[in-house]
Chains A and B, each alone.
Chain A
Amino acid sequence: MTAPVAPANPGMVTLTIEGREVIVPPGTNLIEAAKTAGVLIPHYCYHPSLPVAGVCRMCLVEVEKFPKLTPACATSVGEGQVVHVHSEKARDARKGVLEFLLINHPLDCPICDQAGECELQDYTFAEGRKDSRYMEPKRFNPMEDFGGDVLYVPNRCILCTRCVRFMDVVARDPVLNVSERGDRAYIGKFEGSDLTHAWAANVVDLCPVGALLSKDFLNKARAWELDRAASVCPSCSQGCNVMLETRDNVVVRIRPRPNAAVNQHFACDVGRMNYRWINRRDRLEYPQLRTAQGLATASWSDAINAAASAISAAARVTVLASPALSNETLFLLGRIAAHVNATAVMTVERGAEAPLPGVKDLSLRAERAPNHTGAELFGFTEVISPLAGLGANDLLIVADAAGAVGAIPDGVRVVVIGTVLDETLRATAVVALPIANFAEEDGTFTNLRGRVQRFQQAKAPPAQVRPSYRVVGELATTIGAGSYPALASDIFASMASSVPAFAGMTYRSLGLQGTMAALPAGVTA
């Protein structure tokens, strides 16, 4: 179309989008190029993690010297191009697309789960027609259960085919198709083969409208009632970046948060569904001390002191920690263990590995714990029987690992630092210190490749529960294993200055995408 122009910036392409100069690598499409200039080109079918389809025609933009409008998703940048996103021609084209998309749409936003986070709603509000010129009967197709966690509402579908392309190219399990053609087309599947792939529920997030819905989340909350916190999925050692969404201090949904280095835009179904435990009501809510009548509520200072005394009095100490605790807390537990020469152990639950074939190094990992690597870095060794060899006058510190404790040998004294007390621990604990779960505090996990990633507090802890790093930090200070600050970020800084793998890291430098730790030889997950 245009003669080759010498690049203004060698190795890069320089162009103008909405009057702003943009410099991007060759081959970048116009949507991504515009993003770098802070310009959103409205689109539906385009998704950065999927192959380009170019079918919704929403991203038509005006490029000077091009004979017609061009789809930004399927157009590579060209040297010296001048792109108009908000010209009258481009806006009219989008207005036309929006009208076409809405003619058969039920306009049922008031009862649609997607309302509030619906791109059809958003763009219509921004640049759609105010009225409808459509006077014919609307197309109607019944809802269909697609299996897995997915419900299909065809009347809202805009046939962007993101779901089909995801199952086809990313999950490599083509169970969805476009069936029929013309305005009779819909997303179809074959009777008997459902969306049972371990990563299938991503189609719900990929759907830009309310056509694919999560059955689990159905009618639970409106999007605008939700509070969101950036977090890391605790379900395995992959460390998928997620968003914890809460309503009234209750986690109601986990959704992936993009991180190109870890999970692109995806999260597996196991991770998505594994949130109910975060909201459990039978929590350890107050510090408890053993009295003649059994466990009784005590003050935090009495409880910490009692725990410190128990540790000092013990001949041998074993620290059994959960690999689901944060780096900060495990670091402090490691300090306590080192101070009293304790054995530091953990158990790791394992399950079936379930990769997402279309994304490199992304899988639901066999080790179902988010901080296996971190725990190893802080000296915790994986064992099968953590209580083996324990006897009278030995002390066992159970740090959020209630599930790993079997029958406790006679004479072993138990200090619990945890979110819950089960029957065994309730019967044996001399002191129990209630801690927040990962959704109730700040912290970091180290994933299986050594990426250190922050998670942020999403909800308030119940009653007198305190963040785990603060409880363990106070305990460590009390037994004389050092002096530790009260904030997660400060503990992290202290950890970074003393543990070489984390050297130079701060919360600020981690950002929300994380950075790689320098794993010493021998530490692998």
Chain B
Amino acid sequence: MGYPHPSHPRETPVISKYFGDPEARTLAGWQKRGGYETLKMALSMDPVDVQNIVKESGLRGRGGAGFPTGVKWSFMKPDGKTHYLTINADESEPGTFKDREIMRWTPHQLVEGTAIGAHAIYAETAYIYIRGEYTEPIARVQEAVKEAYAAGILGANAMGSGKRVDVHVHKGAGAYICGEETALMNSLEGRRGNPRIKPPFPAVAGLFAQPTTINNVETVCAATHVLKNGADWYKSLSSPTNPKSTGTKLFSVCGNVARPGNYEVGMGFSMKEFLWDLCGGPPVGRTFKAIIPGGSSVPILTPEECEVAVMDYEGIQAAGSLLGSGGVICFDDTQCMVRQIARLARFYAHESCAQCTQCREGTAWTTKILERIRDGQGTMKDLDTLLEIADNMTGKTICVLSDSCATPVVSGLKKFRHEFEAKIPKNRSQVMIPSLTAAVA
């Protein structure tokens, strides 16, 4: 299968195996494909054993941070407190749309993974927080949850195990920052989606001040396959040269590329082969100018850097960027990098929650300067100012939204400085300030 393109022979479809297969959406179809067998097995296991298998597999969080999933689960001890599992389906990092397809095509895959995750952390209740814009994925997952309850897979006696597993779908309402785990918890609690200061960490006091684990959609789905086929099998899917990044990863590819879509490959895949063979390279008659490999918040790479990069956590870091959420954004030679970086900055300025000073003011200021340069009103001094603002915005705030805004500015200015300079009128020192009345109106 595969969606929107049939799977490429070089792909390793595990999670994406049934993308494009409408029958897999239903409970009957999912069970026909072996669905919920793993959950039944997991519910009969000691949670510690589930944690250990996942630990052994080397599975790392697929939301962006790459924290080892088994280790995260092992923070949750049977302490008699109410535990919560929260599934982060607020996929909102520009360039990323993998969880959307998981939920659209295989909602039961998510429900099963969620139930397994809940059991693994001694939780009876799990919430799947899906961004509000994902109307179809919400409907699909809600339908799957309903079917699972009706079939006794979820509820007071999940699959006859005697254990309670409740799964609820919670709909977001439009805020990128709710993809940040503590902001998501606040949002779920009915608050503004403001990230929280840590400590306390979610495993100590998270959702409703109870011990909480937050996992990405892809992570719990992968964990199901790990449990089903074993840790060794999972590790065999990825390049043996790097034991730190194991299994498969869904990459979303978008922008100026011949075949945009989701691709599932083993960790350690060659980025060159990925971009030029699997995704078909740039659109006809064009060349790549820049690639952002892990969602809009990571440093921009040049095509030359991509050609030698290996697609896993360490490989992309070695190339000068981050694997992030696996959202690959391609820019071809017709794009103006100043314009696109300004547009990215505007995104972050729009999404800043307004808590931290550096982020609230810095994202908006960065945007204004970039848009001024884009419009031919910049000065050379602006470029230095941009870098200094970026420095002031990095590593100083509660969450990393501020850093995420600074990152493309810094890497863009480093790698495409000539494009910025070309936008600046020669010898300009004075700046034309837009009329105040226009600004006030």
Chain A interface residues toward B at CB < 8 A: 52-58, 60, 68-69, 71, 74, 92-93, 96-97, 99-101, 103-104, 133-138, 140, 158-159, 178, 180-185
B391 nearest CB neighbor, chain A only:
A96
Which residues of chain B from 14 to 36 have any CB-CB distance to chain A below 8 Å in the complex? Answer: none
Residues of A within 8 A of B392 (CB): 92-93, 96-97, 99-100
| Complex interface: chain B residues within 8 A of A137 (CB) | 433-434, 436, 438-440
The stretch of B71-79, B349-357, B417-425 that contacts the partner chain: B349-357
Do A182 and B360 touch (CB < 8 A)?
yes
Q: Nearest B residue to A55 by beta-carbon distance?
A: B355
Mark B363-396 against chain A: 1 for CB-CB distance below 8 A, else 0. Answer: 1110011001000000000000100000110011
- Min CB–CB distance B196 → chain A (angstroms): 9
Closest to B439 in A: A137
Closest to B382 in A: A135
Residues B356 and A182 in contact, CB atoms below 8 Å apart:
no
Decide: A185 and B395 in contact? CB cutoff 8 A.
Answer: no
* Binary contact readout B319-363 vs A (1 if CB under 8 angstroms, 0 otherwise): 000000000000000000000000000000111111111101111
Pick the contact of A140: B368, B396, B440 (CB < 8 A): B440
A185 lies within 8 A of B431 (CB): no
- Whether B361 pairs with A104 at a CB distance below 8 angstroms is yes
B192 within 8 A of A: yes
Chain A residues, Cβ within 8 Å of B38: none
Whether B150 is near chain A, meaning CB under 8 Å from some CB there, is: no
- Across the interface, name the chain B residue whose C-beta is closest to A182: B352
B284 at the interface (CB under 8 A from A): no
Tell me the complex Cα distance, A101–B358, Å: 8
- Given known contacts A55-B356, A71-B197, is B433 in contact with A183 (CB within 8 Å)? no
Chain A residues within an 8 Å CB radius of B355? 53, 55, 159
Measured between beta carbons, the chain A residues less than 8 angstroms from B398 are 54-55
Closest Cβ neighbor of B398 among chain A residues: A54
Q: Which of A104, A137, A140 has the most CB of B within 10 A?
A: A137
Please, how many angstroms separate the alpha-carbon atoms of A71 and B395 in the complex? 11
Chain B's nearest CB lies how many Å from the CB of A116? 23
- A328 CA to B192 CA in the complex, in Å? 54
Q: How far is the CA of A104 from the CA of B391 in the complex (A)?
A: 20
Instruction: Indicate if the CB atoms of B395 and A183 lie closer than 8 Å.
Output: no
Given A96-B392, A99-B392, A135-B431, are A182 and B349 also a contact pair (CB < 8 Å)?
A: yes
Question: Given that A135-B433, A182-B351 are known contacts, is A93 also in contact with B396, CB under 8 Å in the complex?
Answer: yes
Across-interface contacts of B365 in A (CB, < 8 A): 100, 103, 134, 136
Among A71, A138, A182, contact of B354 (Cβ-Cβ < 8 Å): A182
Find out whether the CB atom of B197 lies under 8 angstroms from the CB atom of A183. Answer: no
Contact flag A182-B396 (CB < 8 Å), given A138-B439, A159-B360: no
User: What is the bound-complex CA distance between A411 and B377, given in angstroms?
Assistant: 92
Q: A140 vs B356: C-alpha distance in the bound complex, in angstroms?
A: 20
A184–B361 Cα gap in the complex (Å)? 10
Point out the residue from A53, A56, A133, A184 that lies within 8 Å of B385, measured CB to CB. A133
Asked if B397 is at the interface of the complex by the 8 Å CB criterion, the answer is: yes
Complex contacts, A60 vs chain B, CB 8 Å: 396
Most buried by A among B352, B356, B368, B439: B356
What chain A residues lie within 8 Å of B353 (beta carbons)?
A: 181-182
| A183-B440 contact given A100-B392, A136-B369, CB 8 Å threshold | no
- A68, A71, A100: most-surrounded residue (chain B CB, <10 A): A100
From residue A118, how far is it (CB to closest CB) to chain B in Å? 16
By beta carbon, the residue of chain B nearest A99 is B392
Q: For residue B433, which residue of chain A has the nearest CB?
A: A135
A475 to B360: give the CA distance in the assembly, Å.
Answer: 67
A93 to B362, CA, bound (A): 13
Chain A residues closer than 8 Å to B438, beta-carbon distance: 137
CB pair A183–B357 under 8 Å, yes or no, is: no
**Residue in contact with A58 in the complex, picked from B357, B395, B431, CB distance below 8 Å:** B357
Contact across chains for A54 and B396 when beta carbons are under 8 A apart: no
A93, B394: Cα distance in complex, Å:
10
Known: A100-B362, A103-B365. A181 touches B352 (CB 8 A): yes
Among B197, B354, B436, point to the contact of A185 (Cβ < 8 A).
B354
Least Cβ–Cβ distance between A120 and chain B, in angstroms:
11
User: Given the interface contacts A133-B385, A135-B433, A183-B349, does A68 sit within 8 Å of B197 by beta carbon?
Assistant: no
Which chain A residue shows the least CB distance to B198? A74
Q: Which residues of B contact A181 (CB under 8 A)?
A: 175, 192, 351-354
**Least CB distance, A130 to chain B, in whole angstroms:** 15
Name which residue of chain A comes closest to B394, CB basis. A68
A101-B197 in contact (CB<8A): no
Chain A residues near B358 (CB, 8 Å)? 57, 96-97, 100
Provide 27 A-B residue pairs closer than 8 Å at the C-beta atoms, listed in order of the A residue. A53-B355, A55-B357, A55-B398, A60-B396, A69-B395, A71-B197, A74-B197, A93-B392, A96-B391, A97-B358, A99-B392, A100-B361, A100-B365, A103-B365, A134-B365, A135-B433, A136-B369, A136-B372, A136-B433, A137-B440, A181-B175, A182-B353, A182-B363, A182-B364, A183-B349, A183-B352, A183-B361
Q: Give the residue name and chain of the A residue nearest to B362 (CB).
A: A100
CA A101 to CA B353, docked complex, whole Å: 16
**Which 9 A-B residue pairings sit nearest by Cβ, starting from the closest?**
A137-B439, A96-B392, A185-B354, A183-B364, A100-B361, A54-B197, A182-B352, A136-B368, A55-B355
Q: From B435, which residue of chain A is reached at the shortest CB distance?
A: A137
Contacts of B396 in A (CB 8 A): 57, 60, 68-69, 93, 96
Among B175, B350, B357, B398, which residue has the most Cβ atoms of chain A within 10 A? Answer: B357
The answer for the CA separation of A238 and B398 in the assembled complex, in Å, is: 40
- List B86-121 residues whose CB lies under 8 Å from chain A: none
Determine which of A93, A99, A104, A183 lies in contact with B363 in the assembled complex, contact meaning CB atoms within 8 Å.
A183
Within 8 A of A (CB), among B207-245: none
Residue of B nearest to A68 (CB): B395
Chain A contacts for B433, CB-based, 8 A? 135-137
Contacts of A97 in B (CB 8 A): 357-358, 392
When the two chains form the complex, which single residue of A92, A103, A180 contacts B361, counting CB atoms closer than 8 Å?
Answer: A103
Chain B residues with Cβ below 8 Å from A183 are 349, 352, 354, 360-361, 363-364
Q: How many whole Å from A374's CB to the nearest CB in chain B?
A: 45
B393 to A, closest residue via Cβ: A96
Note all chain B residues with C-beta closer than 8 A to A68.
395-396
B115 to chain A, nearest CB (A): 34
Nearest residue in B to A60 (C-beta to C-beta)? B396
Among residues of A, the one whose C-beta sits closest to the C-beta of B434 is A137
User: B177 to chain A: closest CB distance in Å?
Assistant: 8
A135, B361: Cα distance in complex, Å: 14
In the complex, the chain B residue whose C-beta lies closest to that of A58 is B357
On chain B, the residues within 8 Å of A52 by CB distance are: 197
Minimal beta-carbon separation of A97 from chain B (angstroms): 5
